[in-house]
Amino acid sequence: EAGTQTCRGPGRAGDPCHLTRPCGSGLSCEAGTQTCRAPGDVGDPCHATRPCGDNLRCVCGDSLRCGFSLGSSVCIPECNDGMSSKIEKMLENGGWEGERTYGEKWHNGVMPYEFHCGLADSEASSIALAIRELEDRTSLRFERYDSRRHANWVIFNNFDKGREIGNYFAQGTGRKIEAGWQSVNINDPFWMVVNEYNVIHEIMHALGWPHTQQRPDRDEYVKINWDNIAEEKKSQYYKLNVTAGEPGSDLWESVQKCKPYNYKSVMHYGGDDEIETLDPSKNELIGQRDVLSTQDIRELQAYFFGPHCDPASVPPSLSFDRAPAPGKVGEYCSLTRLCGSGLSCHLGVQKCYDFPRKEGQPCAAWYDCNAGLNCEAVSQVCETVPAEPTASPVPTTEAPLAPEP
């Protein structure tokens, strides 16, 4: 080795390296730090002197900084082209396999996943950074989907499914009961950098987290200004119905009800217009998307790996012996909690709606119109189907048959 004039073996991971002390097999000497590094994993920084591992590629996640900072490019998984094409074809044919019943826990804290091939690099890199953050902060693990080992998996995508561009959403709370894929949508083409904590928010929905302001005890801590909330957004503020066993009830019973209210959670909404804290000094804490709060990390760890609430220190769980009351409009519904008279359960969002819709009411792919009505493509309103004109009888030109003799 130059400088020390000492015989050295090849550098191991974390050892210093340079021209006269190369790294060992499978390692690279990273420029700048002059340190031996293993190939980058999902969400790790990458560059010319630190390549990504197998089946990964190095992409620029921040076009404003690429070329100026070694940390601005990250390793992302190669997308699954076959699965992407299969799902796209299914959606084109009107199918949406992911719409099922949710609320199950991911086995052993492992979430299998795939990346859809339509993701932009900024979207894919933010998902990779979110995965890295969750793995670094907790014992959760994210594995590439393998049909031989996994029955359920998440597909990270930007399908958007008719919602406005720039929207993020997870398809359900927790793992779905039936085998198959479920969607976590990241669609934000107007920004060169997608916020990784917005992605974590959606991943936590898929892991089983409702919004913090939906906790059963939220009225002790926040005030919901219902008049300022758009009708289609009100379900994001409904309190968790533990009696009905809504997805998230198990999290509440086993972890959250013996922990303080989590003002700083990435799962909490913010904004004075829609929600405000009863303690004015806490108002600036809610709605942040900059970091996993300490309690977010503790809840994730406790839910999947323990310890759970001590039954002696919390109120007894609500009884599930009797059948839950039928759901009203906007309330939770499932295969085991039906909606009230004249309502139907939309299993994709697990809420009761009064559809088929009547004339003049809004409609969409999952809000069908009543018989005799059509969902007008532009206005998205149920309209009467125009009556088809009655065909006039065609006059005959044939001569009448002669009478038989």
pLDDT at 68 over 50: no
Q: In whole numbers, what is the pLDDT of the chain averaged over residues?
A: 79
Residue 218: give the domain boundaries.
81-313
**Binding residue ranges for Zn(2+):** 201, 205, 211
How many distinct structural domains can be found in the chain? Answer: 1
Note whether residue 7 is domain-resident: no
pLDDT(270) > 50? yes
Specify the pairing of strand 141-144 against strand 168-170. unpaired
**What does the pLDDT average to over 157-179?**
67
Interatomic CA distance for residues 363 and 176, integer angstroms: 26
Assess whether pLDDT exceeds 90 at residue 333.
Answer: no
Question: What value does the mean pLDDT take over residues 374-403?
Answer: 64
Residue 404 within any structural domain of the chain: no
The first and second tokens of residue 86, run together, are 């299969």
14 pLDDT band (50/70/90 cuts)?
Answer: confident
What's the CATH number where 157 sits?
3.40.390.10
Residues serving a catalytic function are 202
- pLDDT at residue 371 above 60? yes
Query: Count of H helices and E strands in the chain?
Result: 5, 15
**pLDDT confidence of residue 366:** 44
**Full-model pTM:** 0.70
Tens digits of per-residue pLDDT, 286-303? 999 999 999 999 999 999
Region of 166 (left: φ > 0; alpha: ψ -120 to 50; beta: rest) is: left
Q: Which of 340, 365, 364, 373 is nearest to 354 (CA)?
A: 340
- Please state the rounded mean pLDDT for residues 337-347: 70
Does residue 274 belong to any structural domain of this protein? Answer: yes
Would 320 be classed as within a structural domain? no
Alpha helices in 145-258 (DSSP H): 196-207, 249-254
Q: What is the average per-residue pLDDT within 11-19?
A: 85
Binding residues, as ranges, are: 201, 205, 211
318, pLDDT greater than 70:
no
Residue 59 lies in a domain: no
* Within a domain: 76: no
Task: Name the strand (E) or helix (H) holding 112.
Answer: strand 110-115
Q: Is residue 372 part of a domain?
A: no
Residue 292 in domain: yes
Quote the tokens at residue 298. Answer: 């503790």
What does the pLDDT read at residue 368?
63
Whether the CA torsion 283, 246, 140, 197 is positive or negative: it is: negative
Q: Which of 66-75, 108-117, 151-160, 385-394 has the highest mean pLDDT?
A: 108-117
